Amino acid sequence: MREKVLVTGADGMLGASICRELLKQNYDVVAFILPNRKSMVLDNLAISLRYGNILNKADVLAAMEGCQFVIHAAASTALWPRKSANIMNINFQGTCNVSEVAELIGIERMVHIGTASSFGNGTLQNPGTEKSSYNSAHFQMDYMQSKYQAQNYLLDKFQKNDFPIVVINPTFMIGPFDSGPSSGRMLLTLYNGKLPAYSKGGKNFVYSLDVATAAVSALKKGKTGECYIAGNENMSYKDFFKLACSLRNQKFNLIKSPHFLSLGVGFISSILARIRNRPPGISYTIARLAAINQFYSSEKAVRELDMPQTPIKTAIKDCTIWYEENGYLQTSNK
């Protein structure tokens, strides 16, 4: 009899990839998504669909019954507004609910999808690791705070109750099935000629399918009570955008935006966003974040979870192809 895994947030970019990796490894998959939500990224998959909300324990219990494992990928990744009770509720209380139900029914292991920003970022020479202290509290972003608090809650549950938790901490993911679009919006903006400049900072970029592989591996590999940064290539924004342009035979003509100018645009955009009640193109806080190097090491995940390290150019290609095939982006003439 095949082991059964509940995947929350199964219709997100990472969740959809996790479902496919689970099927590839011969697990039965229960995909938990919000009620009345239809997503093409799960079409034609041999999975069971369950509808509900992680904020409702009864919904979670009904979905999780009969499962041996759970991969909790459901979250709000919204970065605006900076302070939001809804973001805190989904990311913290929702995680508490999923873990409490998992503990109640005796789940063998829960894998929680956190974020690398729960650890301190570093430089190219000394990238952040799982031992780097959280250093993003000063941004006062409820997304970061909620994910950090949820992670601490789960690790504390492990310490007190030996709860079988493993945390996967992705960096900035690029890949297919990004129907939001979420992280891939940056590529869409670039390719559609709506990105006039880049900032001085950088990120650690990772192929979303590699993160999915690490999450599924964590069901049996790795150590409970541990966190694993799931990343790959540390790149400046300039180098990332140059690579993305070259892969689509598009001329790289972006200019580097002075930091003071980015902050000014972000400040004005944030004020207008509050007046119009819609997300800004770039907020003041995002402008601040874009100026730093958010570099990390995934050495632990590679060593203990056998996480692949697919070149980021492959991630960009696959993301772009998926956007083209699904009508988000006009097909390139290359």
Segment 161-180, tens digit of pLDDT = 999 999 999 999 999 999 98
In the predicted model, residues of the chain with pLDDT beneath 50 are none
Domains located in the chain, CATH noted? 4-180+204-233+295-310 (3.40.50.720)
Q: For strand 233-236 and strand 202-207, is the pairing parallel, antiparallel, or unpaired?
A: antiparallel
pLDDT given at position 85:
87
- Looking up tokens 């919204």, which residue turns up? 78
- Nearest alpha carbon to residue 319 among 183, 171, 214: 183
- Nearest alpha carbon to residue 285 among 273, 296, 297, 275: 273
pLDDT given at position 6:
98
pLDDT given at position 279:
73
pLDDT given at position 195:
86
pLDDT given at position 263:
60
- Nearest alpha carbon to residue 316 among 187, 126, 138, 151: 187
Q: What is the average pLDDT value for the chain, to the nearest integer?
A: 91
* 181-203 pLDDT tens trace: 999 999 999 999 988 888 999 99
Structure tokens, 242: 């140059």
pLDDT given at position 272:
67
Backbone angle region of 219, left / alpha / beta, with phi > 0 → left and psi within -120 to 50 → alpha: alpha
pLDDT given at position 306:
98
Structure tokens, 288: 């601040």
pLDDT given at position 142:
85
Structure tokens, 83: 């302070």
- Nearest alpha carbon to residue 74 among 49, 92, 48: 92
CA–CA distance, 122 with 297 (Å, rounded to integer) = 9
| Long-range own/partner contacts, residues 249-258 (CB < 8 A, 24 or more apart) | 249/332, 249/333, 249/334, 250/191, 254/190, 254/195, 254/196, 254/197, 254/198, 255/196, 255/197, 255/198, 256/197, 256/198, 256/199, 256/200, 257/196, 257/197, 257/198, 257/199
